[in-house]
Chains A and B, each alone.
Chain A
């Protein structure tokens, strides 16, 4: 082998140091080829993500929210307002209405004179906790069901698919309301309700992937080596499901956040006085309070929007990084650039 570092086009060539190294010994064509370092798929994904500005911005937003949620007690202590502490004197005007943002209450107060900023960071705790556990639960159940259904096929598949279809055809909100009414609202109930309605789409996606994966030659190769079903699922199938699971997971988090907010808004999620973004919005809508205190709507919904948008955009970027062939937006952008370049060239040619 004269060229041991044979290079797949997907292997990246463009780290700055490497480019410089290439410039340095630009004499021989032979030495150049070996200069391309081989990298693992994950390294490739990481280097692509790093170049994606939207992904970085989204990640920064998400990190800020996570840090805010984790340091909520610190923030509360620093400001000197508890999340459920009511400031009847300073926090309410003489007519008993909320106070607009000022130097003491950075984001204003609510109808009971509580600090909106402090409640917002405590609400982030709830939102992220619910989103994390609900997504984890849904991914776990969905992947397992989809894997078993797709790999074993036959009657098992029929039953599990039927189960998925039933779950998907239930009217979500109605069902959630009656379920909560039956069990009683709490953090755990909220998570369970969300998991109950989120696993089925994942199971469907995973099942479809597994159905095609199990026909692939490398699975047949594993079979010809004498591998058991369990080993094939574990070693050959699951790692190949990582992309859809990761992508779907990041898209599921914002869904869970919104669903939790919806339930809390309806008074069916986490109970007051615990602050959540949903019940903060509910407070704002009580007696059309938002008409005189718009900050009660603006800040919780801005937080909700920012987090869901950030997760969705990050999910898109992760998908693009994992599977660059399917990149839609970047491709379009590039196409537009190229067209304009071509147009300019034509103009030049005419001139």
Chain B
């Protein structure tokens, strides 16, 4: 047993009371094994590992965490420091901020080695180069003297992995290592990690919210919710025959690439507040199958299958594959007859880049969107997929008239929007609305949500006084918010509810076209499904047209009718969902599709290998 955690309990004293983040969890990790810890934000998955290695300042920790037979929690700071790096390597989520911007990459790796081992400078340098070579940095002898900003995000994460593995630790803690990266880069990094694991026999503790990633790399899976472990077991068991309602709900709310279009089963409600002590199951308030005893006491873990245990009172027979109801395929005929609500014609958008010349008068030109044409049929959903830097968000802003076009035209209901006068431009604002990515940043924290939702109505002088409030409450009800909460501040709402507020604001003026810029990418999967279902039902109810921008292929496949794949400012391929996802023509689209982690395919592969092993 490499790592054995017993009854780990973590809480924080905040100004607002005691926050009980992790509530007595126990788990084991064997040498060379990969343990996937899945959970949404606030489930305690990151906090528990950080507290374990003494990296969460201000945490009140109790329990035991035996690493190679020594308890990490009672170790002195000095001993702990020597364990970190040498015994336990760590990779964090954000590759852009994990490396020091002012030091050369090589110096940072060298420092990590030098802290733990005495070597000559010459030997050290060659070791650093070896590390970079190992993680697949091309031309490592030259790149060793580069600064972090000279590397891309994926390359930086490679450096971080190299840094973490430089001293051959027995355990690698990877905390959402690929969340901030594009799918193609993610696939490369996951490959790299599993290759290095095989070479060095490192155990990996993989913390992630992405079930696809877990399905791809983990040997065993732990599901966490509200600071507790609710289910654990071998990957094939937990993902293919989940028992706990939360794991089942999580699997039912993830859209899958390449499967038939299904109705997502969102988990109702919101994650529990950790500030309040709950003796029962944290999931009880959202569980459809809740029993009386769930509220009083957290159920003991019960044996489901070999190595598969679940902390739920439901009978063992509850475990089984999650089957989603399949939607009938949309009528394709109607699509051709639809008239176009908007057209994008050979749009090119450039920005001034870095300044050049002695006086900084000249500057480079950065091309964000390079000659894109797109038809947007009325009442349909047009999905735009692409990796970061593909120009999809810039295109969205051009569609709403927020940024000027360098050349080309955007037509809305037959009129060129860049040639509109002031009054027409205001009218356009009513018809075209936007839903933003960040549910935290897109709402002004200082204003009550009633006033935020009323904003468009006030700006356009459409409603005043009583009628205004009535309309705001009507909108709140429409998006599934309690209308009595119009007097509250955004901080009092969860991420999903805030996104609902953003949607209500966008719908206030009865727009015809709603541009959604990554509306669900900042949300947890169970909440993501709620918002996707809300958007679909609103479209049916109000006859909206959506332009839906996302980096997540599965989400776009789930909601869109036609899809445009963007890469470096150009549309690589466009067509119906069927065409793009079943028969992609372009190499880039195919690469994108194959890089996306699939829960189902990974499970199938696992089963195939299992069968081979058995016989």
Identify the A interface with B (CB < 8 A): 1-4, 6-14, 22, 27-30, 32-33, 35-36, 38, 40-41, 48, 51, 216-218, 220-227, 231, 235-236, 239-240, 242, 324, 327, 330-331, 334-335, 338, 341, 345-346, 349
- Contact residue among A11, A38, A41, A235 (Cβ-Cβ distance under 8 Å from B16): A11
Contact B456 A226, beta carbon cutoff 8 Å? yes
Determine the chain B residues whose CB is within 8 A of the CB of A35 once the complex forms. 276
Report how far A327 CA is from B494 CA in the complex, Å: 24
Interface residues of B in 485-511 (CB under 8 A from A): 485, 488-489, 491-494, 497, 502, 505, 509
Decide if B112 is an interface residue (CB 8 Å cutoff): no
Contact B402 A225, beta carbon cutoff 8 Å? no
B490 to chain A minimum Cβ distance, whole angstroms, is 9
Which stretch (B345-353, B362-370, B443-451, B597-605) binds chain A? B443-451
Determine the chain B residues whose CB is within 8 A of the CB of A36 once the complex forms. 273, 275-276
Task: Find the A residue at minimum CB distance from B62.
Answer: A345
Determine the chain A residues whose CB is within 8 A of the CB of B430 once the complex forms. 226
How many interface residues does chain B have, given as a range? 35 or more
Contact A3 B285, beta carbon cutoff 8 Å? yes
On whether A225 and B442 interact (CB within 8 A), knowing A10-B16, A331-B58, the answer reads no
Contact B456 A225, beta carbon cutoff 8 Å? yes
Contact A30 B269, beta carbon cutoff 8 Å? no
Decide if B482 is an interface residue (CB 8 Å cutoff): yes
- Contact residue among B14, B19, B459 (Cβ-Cβ distance under 8 Å from A226): B459
Contact B446 A217, beta carbon cutoff 8 Å? no
Determine the chain B residues whose CB is within 8 A of the CB of A10 once the complex forms. 16, 491
Report how far A192 CA is from B198 CA in the complex, Å: 74
Task: Find the A residue at minimum CB distance from B439.
Answer: A217
Contact A8 B494, beta carbon cutoff 8 Å? yes
Task: Find the A residue at minimum CB distance from B281.
Answer: A29
B51 to chain A minimum Cβ distance, whole angstroms, is 12
Determine the chain B residues whose CB is within 8 A of the CB of A3 once the complex forms. 269-270, 272, 285-286
Contact B459 A225, beta carbon cutoff 8 Å? yes
Main secondary structure of the interface of B (DSSP, over half): loop
On whether A2 and B402 interact (CB within 8 A), knowing A48-B15, A221-B442, A231-B459, the answer reads no
Decide if B426 is an interface residue (CB 8 Å cutoff): yes
Decide if B268 is an interface residue (CB 8 Å cutoff): yes
Besides the contacts A2-B269, A11-B16, A41-B445, what 17 more A-B pairs have beta carbons closer than 8 Å? A1-B482, A2-B268, A3-B270, A12-B16, A13-B276, A14-B16, A29-B279, A29-B284, A33-B278, A217-B436, A217-B442, A220-B442, A225-B456, A227-B459, A327-B15, A345-B74, A346-B74
Contact B295 A30, beta carbon cutoff 8 Å? yes
Task: Find the A residue at minimum CB distance from B446.
Answer: A239
Contact B275 A7, beta carbon cutoff 8 Å? yes
B67 to chain A minimum Cβ distance, whole angstroms, is 16
Contact A324 B482, beta carbon cutoff 8 Å? no
Decide if B101 is an interface residue (CB 8 Å cutoff): no
Decide if B567 is an interface residue (CB 8 Å cutoff): no
Interface residues of B in 1-49 (CB under 8 A from A): 13-17, 19
Listed residue (A12, A35, A217, A346) with the most chain B CB atoms within 10 angstroms of its CB: A217
Interface residues of B in 453-479 (CB under 8 A from A): 455-456, 459-460
B549 to chain A minimum Cβ distance, whole angstroms, is 14
Residues 188-201 of B, flagged 1 when their CB comes within 8 A of A and 0 if not, give 00000000000000
Task: Find the B residue at minimum CB distance from A19.
Answer: B17
Contact B58 A335, beta carbon cutoff 8 Å? yes
Report how far A206 CA is from B437 CA in the complex, Å: 27
Determine the chain B residues whose CB is within 8 A of the CB of A30 once the complex forms. 284-285, 295
Task: Find the B residue at minimum CB distance from A320.
Answer: B15
Report how far A81 CA is from B57 CA in the complex, Å: 59
Contact A11 B492, beta carbon cutoff 8 Å? yes
On whether A33 and B445 interact (CB within 8 A), knowing A8-B492, A223-B402, the answer reads no
Contact B268 A1, beta carbon cutoff 8 Å? yes
Decide if B252 is an interface residue (CB 8 Å cutoff): no
Main secondary structure of the interface of A (DSSP, over half): helix
Decide if B400 is an interface residue (CB 8 Å cutoff): yes
Q: Closest 6 A-B residue pairs measured CB to CB?
A: A226-B429, A7-B273, A239-B446, A217-B442, A217-B441, A29-B280
Contact A27 B482, beta carbon cutoff 8 Å? no
Contact A41 B275, beta carbon cutoff 8 Å? no
Task: Find the A residue at minimum CB distance from B275.
Answer: A13
Report how far A334 CA is from B489 CA in the complex, Å: 29
Decide if B60 is an interface residue (CB 8 Å cutoff): yes
Report how far A218 CA is from B19 CA in the complex, Å: 30
Contact A2 B16, beta carbon cutoff 8 Å? no
A-B contact pairs, 6 of them (CB 8 A): A3-B269, A11-B273, A29-B278, A222-B455, A226-B426, A240-B444
Decide if B296 is an interface residue (CB 8 Å cutoff): yes
Determine the chain B residues whose CB is within 8 A of the CB of A226 once the complex forms. 425-426, 429-430, 456, 459-460
Contact A9 B275, beta carbon cutoff 8 Å? yes
Contact A29 B285, beta carbon cutoff 8 Å? yes
Report how far A231 CA is from B429 CA in the complex, Å: 16
Report how far A51 CA is from B14 CA in the complex, Å: 13
Determine the chain B residues whose CB is within 8 A of the CB of A327 once the complex forms. 15
Contact A217 B276, beta carbon cutoff 8 Å? no
Decide if B543 is an interface residue (CB 8 Å cutoff): no
Listed residue (B58, B270, B494) with the most chain A CB atoms within 10 angstroms of its CB: B270
B293 to chain A minimum Cβ distance, whole angstroms, is 11
Report how far A172 CA is from B429 CA in the complex, Å: 50
On whether A14 and B488 interact (CB within 8 A), knowing A30-B284, A224-B400, the answer reads no
Task: Find the B residue at minimum CB distance from A238.
Answer: B446
- Contact residue among B273, B286, B445 (Cβ-Cβ distance under 8 Å from A9): B273
Contact B57 A225, beta carbon cutoff 8 Å? no
A125 to chain B minimum Cβ distance, whole angstroms, is 35
Contact B15 A324, beta carbon cutoff 8 Å? yes
Report how far A6 CA is from B527 CA in the complex, Å: 13
Decide if B321 is an interface residue (CB 8 Å cutoff): no
- Contact residue among A2, A8, A236, A335 (Cβ-Cβ distance under 8 Å from B286): A2
Decide if B404 is an interface residue (CB 8 Å cutoff): no
B469 to chain A minimum Cβ distance, whole angstroms, is 18
Residues 103-120 of B, flagged 1 when their CB comes within 8 A of A and 0 if not, give 000000000000000000
Contact A224 B285, beta carbon cutoff 8 Å? no
Report how far A224 CA is from B488 CA in the complex, Å: 23
Determine the chain A residues whose CB is within 8 A of the CB of B272 once the complex forms. 3, 33
Determine the chain A residues whose CB is within 8 A of the CB of B446 once the complex forms. 41, 239-240, 242
Listed residue (A2, A11, A32, A226) with the most chain B CB atoms within 10 angstroms of its CB: A226
Decide if B132 is an interface residue (CB 8 Å cutoff): no
Interface residues of B in 404-445 (CB under 8 A from A): 425-426, 429-430, 433-434, 436-438, 441-445
Report how far A226 CA is from B423 CA in the complex, Å: 11
Residues 540-583 of B, flagged 1 when their CB comes within 8 A of A and 0 if not, give 00000000000000000000000000000000000000000000
Contact B270 A221, beta carbon cutoff 8 Å? no
Task: Find the B residue at minimum CB distance from A225.
Answer: B456
B529 to chain A minimum Cβ distance, whole angstroms, is 15
Contact A9 B16, beta carbon cutoff 8 Å? yes
Determine the chain B residues whose CB is within 8 A of the CB of A221 once the complex forms. 434, 436, 442-443, 502, 505
